[in-house]
Chain A
Amino acid sequence: MRSARFAALGAAAAAFGAAAWLASVPDDSGVSLLVVACALVVGIAAWLETGPGSAKELALIATLAAVAAAGRVLFAAVPGVQPVTVIVVAAGAALGLRSGVAVGALAAFVSNLFLGQGPWTPWQMLAWGACGAIGAVAAPLLRRRIAFAVACCVLGFGFSSFMDVWTWLAFYPHTWQALAATWARGAWFDAAHAIGNLVIALAVGPELRRMLERYGRRLHTEVVWA
Chain B
Amino acid sequence: MAVARVERLSFAYPGGGAALRDVSLALEPGETVVVLGPSGSGKSTLLRALTGLVPHFHGGRFEGRVEIAGLDTRRARPADLAGTVASLFQDPEDQVVFDRVENEVAFGLENIGTLPERIAGRARAALAGAGAEHLLGRRVRELSAGELQRVCLASTLALEPQLLVLDEPTSQLDPLAVDALLELLSGLSAAVVLSEQRPTRPLRICDRVLFVEGGRVVLDARRERAIEWLARHRPAYLPREPEPLRSGPRAPEVRLRAEGLSFAYPGGPPVLDAAGLELRRGEVVALVGPNGSGKTTLGKLAVGLLEHSAGTIERFGRAAYLSQDPGRYLVCERADEEVALAVGGDLQRARRALAQVGLSGFEHRHPRDLSSGERERLALAAVLVTEPDVLVLDEPTRGVDPDRKDELAQLLRADAPGRATLVVTHDLVFAAEVADRVVSSRRAKEAVYA
Contacts and interface: CB of A to CB of B under 8 A. Distances in A.
The answer to whether A and B come from one shared complex is yes
Interface of A: 207, 221-226
Contacts of A222: 14, 59
Given A222-B59, A223-B60, 11 more contacts: A221-B14, A221-B56, A221-B58, A221-B59, A221-B60, A222-B14, A223-B55, A223-B62, A224-B60, A224-B62, A225-B63
Contacts of B74: 225
22 contacts: A207-B333, A221-B56, A221-B57, A221-B58, A221-B59, A221-B60, A222-B59, A223-B55, A223-B56, A223-B59, A223-B60, A223-B61, A223-B62, A224-B60, A224-B61, A224-B62, A225-B62, A225-B63, A225-B74, A226-B10, A226-B62, A226-B63
A225 B56 CA distance: 11
Contacts of B333: 207
A221 B58 CA distance: 6
The 9 closest A-B pairs by CB, nearest first: A221-B59, A226-B63, A224-B61, A223-B55, A222-B59, A223-B59, A225-B62, A223-B62, A226-B61
Nearest to B64: A226
Nearest to A217: B14
Interface string B56-91: 111111110000000000100000000000000000
Nearest to A221: B59
A223 B75 CA distance: 12
A192 B56 CA distance: 46
A222 B58 CA distance: 8
Nearest to A220: B59
Contacts of B14: 221-222
A222 B74 CA distance: 13
Contacts of B57: 221
Contacts of A207: 333
Interface in B343-399: none
A223 B14 CA distance: 8
B19 to A, nearest CB: 14
A207 B58 CA distance: 24
Contacts of B60: 221, 223-224
Nearest to A62: B97
A69 to B, nearest CB: 14
Interface string B34-58: 0000000000000000000001111
A224 B60 CA distance: 6
A170 to B, nearest CB: 33
A194 to B, nearest CB: 26
A111 to B, nearest CB: 16
B401 to A, nearest CB: 26
Nearest to B333: A207
A226 B8 CA distance: 12
Contacts of B63: 225-226
Contacts of A226: 10, 61-63
A221 B62 CA distance: 13
B66 to A, nearest CB: 12
Nearest to B54: A223
A172 B182 CA distance: 66
A91 B56 CA distance: 25
B243 to A, nearest CB: 44
B365 to A, nearest CB: 15
Nearest to B61: A224
A50 B56 CA distance: 23
A226 B22 CA distance: 13
B111 to A, nearest CB: 11
A166 to B, nearest CB: 31
B438 to A, nearest CB: 36
Contacts of B59: 221-223
Nearest to B13: A221
A207 B368 CA distance: 13
A221 B60 CA distance: 8
Contacts of B55: 223
A207 B56 CA distance: 29
Interface in B1-52: 10, 14
Interface in B413-445: none
